[in-house]
Amino acid sequence: MLRLIRLLRILRIALRFGLDEFALATPATSGLARVINAALFWRDLSDPRAVRLRRALETLGPIFVKFGQVLSTRRDLLPPDIADELAKLQDQVPPFPGESAVAQIERAFGRPLAQVYASFDMQPVASASVAQVHFATLPDGRPVAVKILRPNILPVVQRDLALLDSAALLIERVFADGPRLKPREVVGEFGKHLYDELDLMREAANCSQLRRNFAGSPLLGVPEVYWDWCAPTVMTMQRMHGTPISQLQRLVELGVDIPRLARAGVEIFFTQVFRDGFFHADMHPGNIFITPEGKYLALDFGIMGTLTDADKNYLAQNFLAFFQRDYKRVAQAHMDAGWVPPGTRVDEFEAAIRSVCEPVFDRPISEISFGRFLLRLFQASRRFNVEIQPQLVMLQKTLLNIEGLGRQLYPQLDLWETAKPFLERWMKEQVGLRGFMRNLKNEAPQWATLAPQMPRLLHQALQRDPVEPVRDRLERLLAEQKHQTRLLVLLVLLIAALAAVQLFAFWR
């Protein structure tokens, strides 16, 4: 019942701001549009359509604001007026009163504001969908930025997620492609990250981890977290100084090398994904500043993506094969990962991938639309019943954000040539001698722990086996003992051969 009420409220807000104009803009529906306008004569549609769309998303709440933020980076898919207006959702969401921010701080730390900060600016410097930021000064004089969660936001998020889950369930049951697309898992993944955003202690930990990953990096700066001034609803961090990446003309005036900046952005993205498996998953322009020296400054760490080693290897194999136009290898990687049903013909899958990928090569980013590229890729995957992987949804969203930033910064950027050397170097480190020695070093503690336990574990396993009596098993093991030395020698030879292959691959 509550979901139905929320759905009706969404419909009412959409009609109030005249969003039916977007759905009824064709000649075939012009008659229906006139009827609706006559019936809803009381609504004010004097503002431009883009302004009404932004205001509707702000009224609907944080999830819809997030949706608008993602759309704002897709200038190749949106008319300029809508893209410009939705860009205001990145850091110009209407703020909540400063008095409410003070109340949140005093509630979080259990003492008056004057005992927490030496000074506190009541006027926020940025306001986003789930929190806003104020400048302040610590008792020791250090300037800081204080992020404060919006009051009473949790019930709103819970209602909207419940509505999205209902819509996903409907898609899963009604549409033929529903089960393959796993919409409820995708909504669950989005909800998990959104709930993470509502815990600023978790965001502070994300910030601290990213700062550690890029310690000493000339490409990316991350603020320091001041833990004694952090709580689930309040996060205090180092104040950073830079120019928003969206202010391109200002960056040019400061002498920033824009092509170099664009290439550095690609390297930062691939470093986060493939080296660390931990990446900033909300890279819209409102979250990125640039120093006069051309160094990126990351802000807002509420949504971070993570990848397992298996995910990283799968992605690297696909990216590298894609850059080399080895579509058979791309198809085989999907087959090996189990994402394509057994019995699928590799040659047919390869041909489908080639038809999608080949047209985008040798083109600058200004002539490539990842939105359309992904759409065609999804159409091909639908034909072969490829399973959608929910854990990669955040990466796809981030890739679209990167494309949006790339278009704004330097449309002539050759994304493929910029990324290919990095991926080749990463793959060499993974499969070469360095990767072999690193994996050996990582596994050594596990081997050292398990080796002394082997007799006990073997004894327990034999006791649990109801099929073969323990004595018979032991007698068989003793009978095979004479072969152990031979097997050990073979194992040593095998390891030596593998090391030789790795060394050859490394030096080649």
Catalytic residues: 282
Token pair for 455: 């007799």
What lies within 8 Å, CB to CB, of 9 at 6+ separation is: none
Is there a contact between 396 and 374 (Cβ–Cβ < 8 Å)?
Answer: yes
User: Are β-strands 126-127 and 131-137 bridged in parallel, bridged antiparallel, or unpaired?
Assistant: antiparallel
**Cβ atoms of 440 and 502 closer than 8 Å:** no
Coil vs helix vs strand at 234: strand
Phi/psi of residue 118, nearest 5 degrees? -70, -35
CA distance 408 to 423: 24
Amino acid occupying residue 218: P
Checking DSSP bridges between strand 278-280 and strand 243-244, what pairing results, if any? unpaired
Name 339's Cβ contacts closer than 8 Å, sequence gap at least 6: 386, 387, 389
- Residues 6+ positions from 457 with CB-CB distance below 8 Å: 450
Return the residue matching tokens 């819809």: 64
DSSP string, 272-286: IIIIISEEES---GG
Phi, psi of 87 (to 5 degrees): -60, -25
The C-alpha atoms of residue 180 and residue 172 are separated, in whole angstroms, by 8
CA dist 483 → 85, 248, 470, 474, 477 (Å): 75, 71, 21, 15, 10
State the Cα angle at 494 between 443 and 335, rounded to 5°: 70
Strand-pairing partners, residue 127, are 92, 132
- Spatial distance between the Cα atoms of 161 and 157, rounded to a whole number of angstroms: 6
Cα–Cα distance for residue pair 338/335, rounded to 1 Å: 5
Burial class (CB in 10 A: 0-12, 13-18, 19+), 229: buried
Name the E strands within 301-372.
304-306
Q: Answer for the pair 251, 290: CB distance below 8 angstroms, yes or no.
A: yes
How far apart are the C-alpha atoms of 114 and 109, rounded to whole Å?
A: 11
Q: List, in order, residues 6 or more apart from 56 with CB less than 8 Å away.
A: 13, 14, 16, 17, 19, 64
3-class SS at 127?
strand
